[in-house]
Amino acid sequence: MAGLVAARILNDTGFEVRVLEARDRLGGRIWTVTDLGRPVDLGASWIHGVRGNPLTKWCKHLGIPIQRFPRGITRFIENGKPKHLPALALSSWRGILNAAIRYMVLSRIDMPKPHISDLFQPLIGNARLPLIDRRFLAWMEALQEGINGAPADALSIGELEIPNLLSANAIPLYGYGALIQDAAKDLDVATNCEVRKINWRIGR
């Protein structure tokens, strides 16, 4: 989406633009299919944090309704019983404190930059921490993988996102594909065109 929107902005401000797409479809990680008769997002699907999010404004501009999800919903099961995240965080304070300290140490390392797995894995495997703490940290690591669409050992610690429990999340009801179509409208797009080499020079 980022590259396509960049092409859209360049095109709309007077530049001659051609989009080269290696696949036979646009969108990259965004992939909306309609095989079941309804749009289903197989890739990116959430709008994380509705308020102030440009995606929310974009959906409103296109008349695409969004389905909001309530704040504070139960997301964690402990001993067969649902537990709200605020209560879980309070009971897992030892693990959170250790993670915070470890994050401050690792985030100061420049080269090579530590990965998110370097933050969580030593704590998840630390038998001195209560089991609930380690399970909570494992959930946090998995959440980072879901948000970023990559395994924790391939994600820089700089990509760490602590979810804002007070913010509302949503999904566009017709899928992200409608936004891709809007961004690509009237653009010169070549699909099945893999870029293998770039030659460029300044001036003529």
Distance CA 102, CA 14 (A): 48
**pLDDT tens-digit profile of 91-112?**
888 998 999 999 999 988 877 8
- For residues 68 and 50, the answer to whether their CB atoms sit within 8 Å is yes
Distance CA 45, CA 150 (A): 15
Question: What does the mean pLDDT of the chain come to?
Answer: 88
**pLDDT tens-digit profile of 4-27?**
999 999 999 999 999 999 999 999
pLDDT bucket at 125, cuts 50 / 70 / 90: very high
- The model's pTM is 0.66
State whether the Cα torsion 193-195-197-200 is positive or negative: positive
